[in-house]
Structure 1
Amino acid sequence: MLLSLRFCGQQDQPLVIQASVETISTQVEGGNRVETFSVQSDSMMRASDKSPLDKEALEKRFRSFNNADYIIQEYDFSGLSTGLSIPFKDLTALKNRLAFLLNNSVDVISPVELPKLQQHAKVDDKPGLSLLISDEKDAHLGDVTDADIYFKLPESFKKNCDKYIELLKRNPRFIPWFPAVLIGKDYLEAVRILEEVKPAHIVSNNTGVAYKAFEMGIEWIAGPFLNTTNSYALNTLQEDLNCSGAFISNEINRMQIRNLKRPPGFKLLYSIYHPILMMTSRQCFFQQTVGCNKPSIEDGCMLKCEKATTITNVKGISFAVDKQKGGYPSIYNDEQFLNLDVIQDYSNLFDEFFIDLTDIGSGSKAKLDKIQLIEHFENLLQGSEDAKIQLDSMVTVSTHAQYKQGL
């Protein structure tokens, strides 16, 4: 609907607002319909040098009517004398009266005032390191670090598959890391892992698995793919699902992170090194890139296929194309996310800084020495400037632009 606002007022007279609403009809018969509303202030207009009601002031006050229900087509100030004003509270009452009429004479619900949240103390005084692996061959990394080791579970499982149940029981130090997308039998198999392994705690990017963990009394952390960006989300996760911690989104910037308020006894985690996922699909990316002998995707492709390559578009920008066994085909940015600034900025806020040491998303790039990476990251947490230089030299193609840009 189109809305036109006409403002009229003279000294020692009330301010009058006339609103015309034009409803556009798509039918030939009847045409457009115009309704007119009029409201006036209780107080009289007085001369004012400090804050007169001029075109700019009134447009600023009434532009909120330009919303999902109305489009302001015109402001008319021809009937309003200059240098006049009414008290601010009277102008607000006038605006509310007009909003009531435009809302079919139904009271407009005021915005909810959210309570201010308290910043609670950290769980750990000094931030620790955690890392993600996806292959049991990397279990030896636990010999060189005390960091928490998360084990990435696939998106797809064979029915009644005990492979990962046995793997997690064999390696009690591995903390199960559940993916975001689990469909049908794959979700049921993920739940069976919880029931059989009964881990002390997990990381879940899937709210269904998180709810199941909550029902079973398993401590769980909200993974980075839940993209948590604000303090009220943290409170909701804790109060409704007994969540014990959460990864903070890498999409918010330094200033936005500063406003986060931690719930009591709640861990805050931040990923400082990981591949940047751009797209995940159930369709094959390799038939159009490196080729595949199969004419179309088969049932076994999801569980058996494992490929990785790098493609370059016509602008010279490269992307990593990756397909893990049990995973969906995915495209990754050629740059790794590497944010070392956040350690200096927010070691007093985060309990844990996370690094992804899987080979997923690396494309055809040479694999980095994982033991060296762990050593440099741990030294960086201890305040070593040399470690920062070493990491910058190892991870040559990286970015943390979002930490500066934000949402």
Structure 2
Amino acid sequence: MEKQIELLAPGGDIDSIKAAIAGGADAIYCGLAQFNARNRASNISFEELKAVIRVAHKNDCEVFLTLNIIILENEIPALISLLNKLVNINLDGIIVQDIGLMYIISKWFRSLPIHASTQMTTHNVGQIKFLNLFNVERANLCRELNLDEIIELTRAAQNHKMQTEVFIHGSNCICFSGICYMSSVTRGNSGNRGKCSQPCRDKYLTTPVGFDYPLNLKDNCAFDHIKELMDAGVYSLKIEGRIKKYDYIYPVVNTYKKQIQYLSGMHNIPQNKDVLYKVFNRDLSNGYLTNHISKDMFIDNPRDHSVKRIKEQNNNAVSEITELAEKRLYEEKEQIKDEAKNKIDILSMAQIPLDIKFQGKEGAPLRIIAGIPDKLIKIESKIALGNKGSEALSYGMIIKRVKTIDDTDYVIRNIDLTELEGKVYLPYKELTLLRNRLKQELPGYIKKVSPITPPQIKNTAAEVKNAGLSVVVSSIEDVPSYNNKSNLYFKLPSSLKTYFSEYVRLFTENRNLIPWFPSVIIGEDYTLARDFIDKIKPHTLVSDNTGIAYEAFERKIKWIAGPFLNMTNSYALQSLYESFNCMGAFVSGEINKQAIINLKKPEGFKLFYSIYNPIQLMTTRQCLFQQIGGCEKKSLDQHCISHCEQLQMITNTRKASFVAEKSKGNYHRLYESINHLNLEVIQDFRGKFDEYFIDLSDVGTQTKPAALKREIILLFELLLSGDVGATEKIEKVLGPTANLQYTRKRSI
């Protein structure tokens, strides 16, 4: 029966890749040693990738390569070199996060299908349209979406001839993927660069409501909702786990595969999910998918829950029954491991053996008969064999001319010359043509593509003589005080529903005020945001969300790419300018001074940098205060988003503190305990940036300015005008601040 839905499985090393194939995966995703978002996985070499593709395709399994990190400018040459190699193997797709990389592939490497990584935070219809302009084949949707939201986005994708992919099992991040900076800020290990050190799963000082791991979620499990996802039209169901080993991958993949087959009518016996509790897990939850976002999704322990579950099932009694159950679990774990090992040992990564026989005599064409499993290939030379030439046909001469076949899925096992009569000759050129014809006849042949060198981005923009200062606020009360300038920006909430009319009035009465849209805008809130744009008709807007960016592009509104779009290379800037009529972009706050140096901007394109702001580490759809304290609700509702206001500090056992904040209309956010201040960038990059931004949003960090906002603005204006004493005054007035990401010597 034809495949009903794709089961996509992870592979961090060769054994786990084999385990995924043996378990019944329709596709696997894996990474090389560079450019992928699981730096801690073993990963594979390029030669191993070719072998993986060979064994996967032999077993009707596709292979997708993860290049799903943001790309730095100095990495572009190595990236281009890799893409030139990837187009010459039978790879089935590339998983991408970086907009610059997406642009490069869609423009110069079109034979490589593009899949948008979950790191692109895709959660609204506008983002589907944004991706479609890059010829993206598939979008991996946010893990935080519920079934109705998945249905809406899948329909939108299908209308644009795109596929959707949904995570169904594995680790849950507390943050929306792609916009988490916690590991980057605190330890210099960016999740957007594949180096996440998972500080969210650290142990914290016990919270007032008694939790030691207040940011730790249970694992995702959609086992009971596969049918709904199939009915929704989702193309691919994805299992998380490239850090997991083969003894985890095989049973999880096999369990889901058998359940999919049952639901597709291919088997009569349904599966149960018991085995999913026997391998590593942090307990399982389907809260996001079922739209039941509650405290039940948290677990106060980041380690394996399988043994603890046995104790819970026996009411934590210390008894012979519990001991026997634990012993049985460990025995079953070993059985699972043995079964997985036996399955992967059967799968061979070796090249397919090729036996070649040469037949012919003087005056007749050279005939080649190549034998591979299940096929016999016969070809003849177009000219006859002669009795003179540069070199007679011999084993050494032939193997020298045909050995490049070894670069395919096939390896020459035997060359038979017993039916080659006498000393005969054939021009080298004709023998090369025969070899090429033979390669073309081999199953899986791919025509080689010559290397491509995309044109380098040149810095055509004029040097900025006098960089301006822009002010960002998020409180309506602040607007009248500072709206005597044309460069005042207002940060809008994720949900405009409750205060739509109030915000419309604000922008109608203050025409110079520029709206700034956040990174997460889901479902009805996205529709309202789009209506809001149509209502106020802004001349310019800032967006941290690619969906709103698309709406601005479609309406011919000037727009600026916000810092959460992670602009880290010149191709990303060029892409937005060329394809989306973007007027400018913020440089990502993650990258250091060295990474900024070589950034080039197109002519007429503006470059922005935030020199003072609260450091937003993450946005989550969860409620942080159920675990931290201050919220007694069991689960979230719409009233929580629109009306809740909370602020509380948490500190981990490493003595690092963070501010958990919930403001009206926004999702919960986590901030660094002190604000970011970078005055060095002004001296280091004179002439590069068009505007510097200061964000005066009231978040409640430990940076508590000893001056009014108007006075702070004046100090920054003096700084940009060349006042040599302004730096010391600013630092004194603002109090404790941080600038680690810019000054770090090594890149994120």
When residues 311 and 365 of structure 1 are mapped into structure 2, their CA distance, relative to the original with a 3 A threshold, is farther
Letter in 1 for 2:474: S
Deviation of 1:293 (Å):
3.7
Alignment partner, residue 390 of structure 1: 729
Deviation of 1:34 (Å):
4.1
Q: Distance in 1 between matches of 2:503 and 2:630?
A: 31
Pairing 1:155–2:487 present: no
When residues 100 and 336 of structure 1 are mapped into structure 2, their CA distance, relative to the original with a 3 A threshold, is same
When the two chains are superposed, the root-mean-square deviation of aligned CA atoms in Å is: 3.1
- Comparing 283-292 with 216-225, which one deviates more in the overlay? 283-292
Task: Note the alpha carbon deviations across 1:224-265, whole angstroms, 9 max, x for none.
Answer: 111111111111101111001111111222222111111111
Alignment partner, residue 407 of structure 2: 100
Pairing 1:164–2:471 present: no
Task: Note the alpha carbon deviations across 1:296-328, whole angstroms, 9 max, x for none.
Answer: 322201100112222222332211111110011
Which structure shows the higher strand fraction? 1
SS in 2 for 1:186: helix
When residues 30 and 237 of structure 1 are mapped into structure 2, their CA distance, relative to the original with a 3 A threshold, is closer
Deviation of 1:271 (Å):
0.8
Alignment partner, residue 243 of structure 1: 582
Q: How does 1:201-280 map to 2 (within 5 A)?
A: 201-280=540-619
Q: How does 1:44-83 map to 2 (within 5 A)?
A: none
Deviation of 1:32 (Å):
4.2
Which structure shows the higher helix fraction? 2
Pairing 1:137–2:477 present: yes
When residues 146 and 162 of structure 1 are mapped into structure 2, their CA distance, relative to the original with a 3 A threshold, is closer
When residues 387 and 299 of structure 1 are mapped into structure 2, their CA distance, relative to the original with a 3 A threshold, is same
When residues 30 and 233 of structure 1 are mapped into structure 2, their CA distance, relative to the original with a 3 A threshold, is closer
When residues 37 and 376 of structure 1 are mapped into structure 2, their CA distance, relative to the original with a 3 A threshold, is farther
Q: Distance in 2 between matches of 1:188 and 1:98?
A: 56
The count of aligned residue pairs is 334
Letter in 1 for 2:670: I
Q: Distance in 1 between matches of 2:463 and 2:350?
A: 62
Letter in 2 for 1:178: F
Alignment partner, residue 539 of structure 2: 200
When residues 111 and 403 of structure 1 are mapped into structure 2, their CA distance, relative to the original with a 3 A threshold, is farther
Q: Distance in 1 between matches of 2:353 and 2:732?
A: 68
SS in 2 for 1:157: coil
When residues 399 and 35 of structure 1 are mapped into structure 2, their CA distance, relative to the original with a 3 A threshold, is same
Does the Cα contact within 8 Å between 1:131 and 1:147 map onto a contact in 2?
A: no
Does the Cα contact within 8 Å between 1:123 and 1:265 map onto a contact in 2?
A: no
Residue from 675, 698, 701 that aligns with 1:336: 675
Pairing 1:371–2:678 present: no
Does the Cα contact within 8 Å between 1:278 and 1:331 map onto a contact in 2?
A: yes
Letter in 2 for 1:132: V
Letter in 1 for 2:532: I
Alignment partner, residue 348 of structure 1: 687
Letter in 2 for 1:117: I
Deviation of 1:183 (Å):
0.6
Deviation of 1:130 (Å):
0.6
When residues 373 and 147 of structure 1 are mapped into structure 2, their CA distance, relative to the original with a 3 A threshold, is farther
Q: Distance in 2 between matches of 1:351 and 1:342?
A: 12
Alignment partner, residue 324 of structure 1: 663
Instruction: Give unmatched runs, 5+ long, in structure 2.
Output: 1-13, 16-47, 56-340, 355-399, 411-443
Q: Distance in 2 between matches of 1:232 and 1:322?
A: 35
Deviation of 1:375 (Å):
1.3
Pairing 1:289–2:289 present: no
* TM-score, normalisation: structure 1: 0.74
Task: Note the alpha carbon deviations across 1:110-143, whole angstroms, 9 max, x for none.
Answer: 5531212221234853100011111121124426
SS in 2 for 1:385: coil
Q: Distance in 2 between matches of 1:371 and 1:97?
A: 72
Letter in 1 for 2:653: V
Deviation of 1:159 (Å):
6.7
Instruction: Give unmatched runs, 5+ long, in structure 1.
Output: 3-18, 39-92
* TM-score, normalisation: structure 2: 0.41
Letter in 2 for 1:403: Y
Q: Distance in 2 between matches of 1:265 and 1:299?
A: 43
Alignment partner, residue 270 of structure 2: none
Does the Cα contact within 8 Å between 1:129 and 1:147 map onto a contact in 2?
A: no
Letter in 2 for 1:115: P
